[in-house]
Amino acid sequence: MARRLIWSVEARNSRKNIFDYWNNRNKSKAYSNKLNLLFNENLKTIIKLPEFGITTKNEDVKYSIISHFEIIYKVTNSEIVVLDIWDTRQNPQKFPIK
């Protein structure tokens, strides 16, 4: 049985903020579109192979690295919940998973 993909509010906000930043910085949506494609392709793999990601201290929470970003997600029996998208160039003290 395939798992459903759910985006948390935090993950949606992070994705929007990332895209807004790059749209404004580059004065174009081309890079944001490329990132969105990379995120979606990675998530398709995660849905098929939830164990694909790197395990954290919490066994249910994993993350997958894409370029300078990490998609942080939680695996349940019926869902993959995207918890956040983290730009690895940020201050590591603010990393959402301890």
Local confidence pLDDT in tens for the 98 residues of the chain: 678 999 999 999 999 999 999 999 999 999 999 999 999 999 999 999 988 888 888 888 999 999 889 999 999 989 999 999 988 886 666 656 65
State CA 22 to chain mean position distance: 16
The Cα–Cα gap between 15 and 87 comes to 10
Nearest alpha-carbon partner for 65 in 80, 48, 46, 47: 46
Which pTM was predicted?
Answer: 0.86
- In the block, tokens 């694909």 appear at 52
Q: How far is CA 37 from CA 10, 34, 57, 77, in A?
A: 20, 5, 29, 26
